[in-house]
Amino acid sequence: MSAMAVEPEKNKTRLSQLDQLKKFSKVVADTGDFESMRKYQPQDATTNPSLIYAATQQEQYVHLLDEVIVDRKRSGLAGAAQIEDIIEHLLVKFGCEMLKIVPGRVSTETDARYSFDVEGSIKKARQLVKIYEERGIPRERVLIKIASTWEGSVPGPILHLRQGQTLNVTFVNNGTMQHSIDFHAAQVAPDIAYRSINPGEKLDFSFVAATPGAFIYHCGTPPVLQHMANGMYGAIIVDPAEPMPPADVSYVLVESEWYTAQAEGTVMSGDYNKMLSVTPDEVVFNGIAFQYNDHPLAAKVGQRVRLYVIDAGPNLMSAFHIIGGMFAAVYPDGDPKHALSGVSTYPVAPGQGVVFDAIMSPPGKYPIVDHSMRSMTIGTAGVLSVAP
Ligand SMILES: [Cu+2]
């Protein structure tokens, strides 16, 4: 949340609004202005390229930019690689300055162009951590912001973290209507963290992923049915601190419904009446009907196959099943403490996640389905191909 707009109360007998907020929530500064950071004393700070750009336009910070340019001229790089190198070092430079002011951590953003490139994001994150460490900042004080563009894919990108890790969220609305973001892996005040923001606005909040599991995140702006049925959801996986038996292969399947109307030509839009009457045209795994018939999920005999199944709904239950298979373990909610064994079919409710472990034998092509026959008929059927 942005704490910078909160003016502290002068009267010492009463807690200021900001101090009250600090009691219940970690206050994170989202600004390039060091002076306001000194004044309001947030726990953590966060940087992003637009804040850094704004800061470099101010006279008192120009020297930071100059220092980085002088230093990086010796990098031996040229062209785009040199510019990228300068930007990385500039982000870290500002991060180091912020760390002199805040007692906690600073988060630094990876390039938004890596949004759908997991390996690229990891490489970039390691590079930023390395630069911080070269400047004497331990990695414990650094958070990496990974760009995660919602628009352009259904479901949205998978977020994957370990139990106990902190997620600092910067939610940017580049759309044309109000939106919000609700993480089922969090425990936060929803009227603050999950509130809707207007186009062009952004919202920061932070939570600790205290509970392990397979969770959904989604837009919660009214009418939520309409926002979710248009694809505004994704999976957030929190690996348990006490690990499950290691999986040989794992897949995330987000099940959801499509309710469509023809807008014009081949352009489709959502049909709100169909959403209300629960008459989907398709029920799908990961956005596309029957896609794993054409591109089967692959495994080998005897391997532990882990399927993280999240039902995004917005309306229908899933009865998850592998035809010809038996689940060695089912972890409702994705929590190892909830483990069941010897299960053929298990329900996943809208908004819920369940982890399924299957150890397949003999080799063959095993249909993975939602055993609700209507859903299976209109899209939730795929193949797990088990090789010898
Ligand atoms: Cu929305």
CA-to-CA separations, 40 to 44, 72, 193, 278, in angstroms, rounded: 11, 33, 20, 50
Q: How far is the CA of 183 from the centre of ligand 1 (A)?
A: 13
Neighbours of ion ligand 1 (CB under 5 A): 179, 219, 221, 227, 232
Alpha-carbon span 33 to 176, nearest angstrom: 29
Indicate the pTM of the whole model. Answer: 0.75
CA of 139 to the centre of ligand 1 (A): 34
- Residue 317 Cα, ligand 1 centroid: separation in angstroms? 22
Q: How far apart are CA 95 and CA 126, in angstroms?
A: 15
251 phi, psi to nearest 5 deg: -135, 150
pLDDT at 9: 40
Q: Quote the pLDDT of residue 191.
A: 94
Residue 184 near residue 261 (C-beta atoms within 8 A): no
Domains, the chain, with CATH or none: 13-147 (3.20.20.70), 249-387 (2.60.40.420)
Tokens of 215: 């969770």
CA of 336 to the centre of ligand 1 (A): 32
Alpha carbon of 236 to ligand 1 centroid (Å): 17
What is the structure's pLDDT at 16? 67
Report CA(261)–ligand 1 centroid distance (Å). 19
Q: Which residues contact 93 (CB under 8 A, 6 or more apart)?
A: 64, 67, 68
Query: pLDDT truncated to tens, each residue of the chain (388 aa)?
Result: 333 333 334 444 445 666 766 666 666 666 667 777 788 778 888 777 777 777 878 888 888 888 998 999 888 888 888 888 898 899 899 899 889 988 888 888 777 777 667 788 888 889 999 999 999 999 889 888 776 665 567 898 899 999 999 998 989 898 889 999 999 999 999 999 999 999 999 999 999 999 999 999 999 999 999 999 999 999 999 999 999 999 999 999 999 999 988 877 777 788 999 999 999 999 999 999 999 999 999 999 999 999 999 999 999 999 999 999 999 999 999 999 999 999 999 999 999 999 999 999 999 999 999 999 999 999 999 999 999 9
C-alpha of residue 172 to centroid of ligand 1, in Å = 12
- Spatial contact of 2 and 204, defined as CB atoms under 8 Å apart: yes
Q: Ligand 1 mean position to 54 CA, how many Å?
A: 29
SS3 208: strand
What is the CA(355)–ligand 1 centre distance, in A?
27
Q: Quote the ligand 1 centre to 134 CA distance (angstroms).
A: 41
Compute the distance from residue 221 Cα to the ligand 1 centre, in Å: 5
Distance 272 CA to ligand 1 centre (A): 14
Report the distance separating Cα 154 and Cα 265, nearest Å. Answer: 21
Peptide bond before 314: cis, by omega within 30 degrees of 0? yes
Ligand 1 mean position, distance from CA 233 (Å): 9
Distance 331 CA to ligand 1 centre (A): 30
pLDDT at 152: 62
- The alpha carbon of 175 and the centre of ligand 1 are apart by a number of angstroms equal to 9
Q: How far apart are CA 275 and CA 257, in angstroms?
A: 9
Ligand 1 midpoint to CA 159 (Å):
18
Distance CA 197, CA 290 (A): 35
CA of 174 to the centre of ligand 1 (A): 11
In what helix (H) or strand (E) does residue 123 lie, and over which residues does it extend?
helix 118-134
Give me the sign of the Cα torsion angle 345, 348, 354, 355. positive
In angstroms, what is the span from residue 169 Cα to ligand 1's centroid?
Answer: 16
User: Encoding tokens for residue 93?
Assistant: 């430079």
How far, in Å, is the centroid of ligand 1 from the Cα of 321? 31
Residue 201 CA, ligand 1 centroid: distance in Å: 13
How close is the Cα of 215 to the center of ligand 1, in Å?
18
The values of phi and psi at residue 324, to 5°, are 90, 0
